Amino acid sequence: MAAREPDWVPGDAWLAPGYAEWAPPAALRGAVACLWASVVPDGADRATLVLPDACSDLVWEQGIGGYVAGPDTGPVRTVTKAGTVIVGVRFRPSAGGTVLGLPLSEVRDQRVALAALLPAAARRLPAGLSPAEAAARAVDIAGLLIAEVAPDHAVSQAAALLRDPAARTEDIAGQVGLSERQLRRRVHAAAGYGPKTLQRVLRFRRFVRMLDAAGEPPDLASAAVQAGYADQAHLTRECSALSGLTPAALARVRAQPSGGSAIMAVPISRKPSRA
């Protein structure tokens, strides 16, 4: 079978060195946040600081094959060999567990071989595929998995409401028609952790996006308030817990170029790692 070119990226842009994201096909957008590719140039391994993003990923890594990257609750440092190509489908916080057919809390803070979770899918993503074929197959697999399940609308709505850092989980439960206990159980299954942790990670993502959008290091006291933290001290505690760095140090890391072997953090985080 001839290798297929993925139709979700412009031309050969997905093979450009570095990391890039694209919008998924329209039919997948309810469950998929983005499609992404990471290409490590020849000549030097790349060290990466992976940040929690409240998402889970279906990943194919050249020479490794398929695996699932569960939601993280803290920073993960990885090293990817020079010349490696990785492609992935990133599921929204409210969709990963439903689409993959398992409580996502079972793979929290883990990278699990796809063969252990979805053997049929793993057979379609062997390590020796061309990156183009792996990218096309990963999207096909995601589409089939999404088509087989009904979305949990209550959890989707709760996840949207939890983007507000001032929202109270007990109020959200009532708004989506669940008890607090039901909400915790279903968010654990779909997102990998409870509503309060999901809210923390979503707030942190807001701060990271602010860093990425800033042309220069922001005023951290102001950024803390804009991101939804009580004050700069609160931001510092949360940033240290979720990234392992102070806000100022994280701002410097996010400003670094992605080349070479410098520790970096890609947009909204990605999770390539050895399965």
Of residues 93, 105, 111, 122, the one with CA closest to residue 33? 93
Check pLDDT > 80 for residue 21. Answer: yes
**Tens digit of each residue's pLDDT (9 = 90 or more) over 100-116:** 999 999 999 999 999 99
Q: Mind listing the pLDDT tens digit for each residue in 111-132?
A: 999 999 999 999 999 999 998 8
Q: Cα separation of 237 and 241, whole Å?
A: 6
Look at residue 9 and tell me whether its pLDDT is greater than 60: no
**Is 78 exposed, middle or buried (CB count within 10 Å of its CB: 0-12, 13-18, 19+)?**
middle
Of the candidates 86, 84, 87, the one whose C-alpha atom is nearest the C-alpha of residue 43 is: 84
Q: Per-residue pLDDT for 4 more than 80?
A: no
How far out from the chain centre does Cα 222 lie?
27
* Average pLDDT for the chain: 89
Q: In this predicted structure, what is the pLDDT of residue 214?
A: 86
Contact 125, 134 (CB under 8 A): yes
- pLDDT tens sequence across 220-269: 999 999 999 999 999 999 999 999 999 999 999 988 765 333 333 333 34
What would the two tokens of residue 242 be? 């979720």
- What span, in angstroms and rounded, lies between the C-alpha atoms of 172 and 161? 7
From the number of C-beta atoms within 10 Å of its C-beta (0-12, 13-18, 19+), residue 5 rates as: middle
| Structural contact between residues 22 and 36, judged by C-beta atoms closer than 8 angstroms | yes
pTM for the full model? 0.88
Distance CA(109)–CA(197), nearest Å, equals 13
Sequence-separated (6 or more) residues with CB below 8 Å from residue 93: 54, 55, 71, 159, 190, 191, 198, 202
